[in-house]
Structure 1
């Protein structure tokens, strides 16, 4: 066992003991930090019909009457030896977690939670048995039906607008979970995918989180240009190829660039930032501080996870091998770019058009742990970048 792994394991134990010792006696340990989703239970499809044995066909004897079918004689079974099955142990979930947990992770494009669009929409599947974490980026410009707002004249819109209409400042939605809750309902109604929990971070909190761990380190294969392309475009800066140390502000700008290429390239950059943040959290000098970090940000993140569940997720992080952190996205060739009339805003807007069943099929495989699969470069996190500063 390497020195680094020994330190990680020791820090994980200290993390668990520190969090548990401070709050295990509290009544809030297992209580959600925010309003639970309370999504309707999905209806299971009826079982398919089973095959029946074919009816024997009577032979024609030539007398005008059909002869009774000749019954088949059963074959004499060969003697077989009966082996006593050896019971196999069922692996237990690690860190006291459930076998699988799914989380809707949202990044909001404002500094508060009263308003805003969902700038980043991720579905996270956490397998506590393998262990494995799979992250799917959902295209924010998907055109979807938005449920529960008919009285306000809203029936459809972009996927990222589901959060906007559900946010407290809009006053359209009074269901559970506010913006994340309406986003979760929208995903379930359109694609049949129900999440267990949600977590939402605004821009201000994201910047603070990255700065709290001392920034992140990335290696860029090429320059990334986030300068304005017109007077309406926000200046996101220019990032040179090679090694980059990013503060929270720089990491946020890097994650939001999309006007110079497209939203799929932005998803890839968001993945780079998440991987770099994961690498920083696993550094020996940072791991012991995770309990304090969790405590300091509990009031800044909107989530229905409980402190116990957050502790389980933190415990699992250092146990993940690189090939068991997998990123994916809906293939671009499944989507058709077009424009739709946005009645609420009074103009045409770019959207991704797609058969909802296509998305449903991908998400069903994601839910079952069958997709995406690790395929080497591009599927998981890049190698950690050692800081040079």
Structure 2
């Protein structure tokens, strides 16, 4: 009987242990299900929050992108309008060139003794985009010409006083039927700063130069021979005109100086001075070039040829009625322009002959 009770007690204990284990396992499964449920809820909430955040961020990002696009588009359209006002329409015939009109201003007075800026030096610089070759057409400031927009006739130097650089661009465009892509306007002080920044220019002065003009603040006294010209010396050399050739002689000196200056810019020892030159240009030079032009101009400058630029003076002669006025030779000028900017058909014929 005692054995029976022991066995019955053991069975009872085993049964209770089994139920307890079953209950534990059930409880554990319930906890796991609850945890799995809570984790699912948490992941769902987290996913919803992330999706909402991404949606909101995407909405604002898209809105910002659309607004940025509109701002850039409006800036570019405003840039096109300004360029149209500055230079007029650009003919596709000149897409292979970058033509820049450089105007050097003097400090003059008009008939009423009021200060009046006029173009003392007028250079049309044409850079061939593919080869980097540079051609410079030097136009005498006293060239007699009709102004654009039917504003009458005058010396080319006076056109700047009438309508600034935009009128100069359109007048020269009208004279030669050449599209001008950009213009640069520089005064005498800035010009001297740039010459000093590059370390001056070594040049042969072809004759003694003696000229005094107290009203203009000029006292030019330079001896013949090789000279190192700083900014002020370069200004005197280019402004001197008291010789038999007058303005023609000054134009020829401008051509000579431009070649020497170009060679100095391409020298290796000038490279460290480029930031200073750029700062001078940024602070004191007026130009039509803007941010949208920077990539193109940068590529053109990087390709500049090491060959000296070809300099050409506008053909013509002094007027019989006034020997201070330069009259352009239309036929000779047209031939030069045709040579510098050959028609597309002629260019194709040359390429076919070479091939």
TM-score (norm 2): 0.62
Match 2:320 to one of 320, 338, 352: 338
Aligned partner of 1:250 in structure 2 is: 233
Q: Is the 8 A contact 2:211 2:220 kept in 1?
A: yes
Aligned partner of 1:270 in structure 2 is: 254
- After superposition, what is the alpha-carbon deviation per residue over 1:203-248, rounded to whole angstroms, capped at 9, x for unaligned? 111011111222222133x3331424x8878645222233211110
Q: Equivalents in 1 of 2:127, 2:312: separation in Å?
A: 14
Aligned partner of 1:131 in structure 2 is: 132
Q: Is the 8 A contact 1:226 1:260 kept in 2?
A: no
Q: Is the 8 A contact 2:262 2:308 kept in 1?
A: no
Q: Is the 8 A contact 1:143 1:351 kept in 2?
A: yes
The aligned runs of 1:189-268 (5 Å cut-off) are 189-220=174-205, 222-228=206-212, 235-262=218-245, 263-268=247-252
Aligned partner of 2:143 in structure 1 is: 142
Equivalent position SS for 1:293: helix
For the structure 1 residues 107 and 218, does the alpha-carbon distance in structure 2 shift closer, same or farther, using more than 3 Å as the test? same
Equivalent position SS for 1:115: strand
Match 2:281 to one of 282, 286, 297: 297
Q: Equivalents in 2 of 1:41, 1:336: separation in Å?
A: 32
Match 2:173 to one of 162, 175, 188: 188
Larger RCO: Structure 1 or Structure 2 (Cα < 8 Å, ≥ 6 residues apart)? Answer: 1
- After superposition, what is the alpha-carbon deviation per residue over 1:359-383, rounded to whole angstroms, capped at 9, x for unaligned? 344334333399xxxxxxxxxxxxx
Q: Is the 8 A contact 1:199 1:302 kept in 2?
A: yes
| 1:351 and 2:336 aligned | no
Asked which structure has the greater CA Rg, the reply is 2
| 1:100 and 2:64 aligned | no
Equivalent position SS for 1:180: helix
Deviation at 1:194, TM superposition (A): 2.6
Q: Equivalents in 2 of 1:121, 1:144: separation in Å?
A: 14
Q: Which runs of 5+ in 1 are unaligned?
A: 1-26, 45-97, 167-178, 341-348, 371-389
| 1:162 and 2:211 aligned | no
Deviation at 1:121, TM superposition (A): 0.8
Deviation at 1:137, TM superposition (A): 0.5
Count of paired positions = 262
Aligned partner of 2:263 in structure 1 is: 279
- After superposition, what is the alpha-carbon deviation per residue over 1:166-213, rounded to whole angstroms, capped at 9, x for unaligned? 1xxxxxxxxxxxx11101111223432331111111111101111122
Q: Equivalents in 1 of 2:138, 2:343: separation in Å?
A: 16
- After superposition, what is the alpha-carbon deviation per residue over 1:233-292, rounded to whole angstroms, capped at 9, x for unaligned? 864522223321111011011011112232222122212322332233233332033134
Equivalent position SS for 1:223: coil
Match 2:310 to one of 300, 320, 326: 326
Q: Is the 8 A contact 1:236 1:257 kept in 2?
A: no
Q: Equivalents in 2 of 1:249, 1:148: separation in Å?
A: 37
Equivalent position SS for 2:117: coil
Equivalent position SS for 2:325: strand
Q: Equivalents in 1 of 2:295, 2:275: separation in Å?
A: 9
- After superposition, what is the alpha-carbon deviation per residue over 1:312-342, rounded to whole angstroms, capped at 9, x for unaligned? 65665575555452111123xx3242336xx
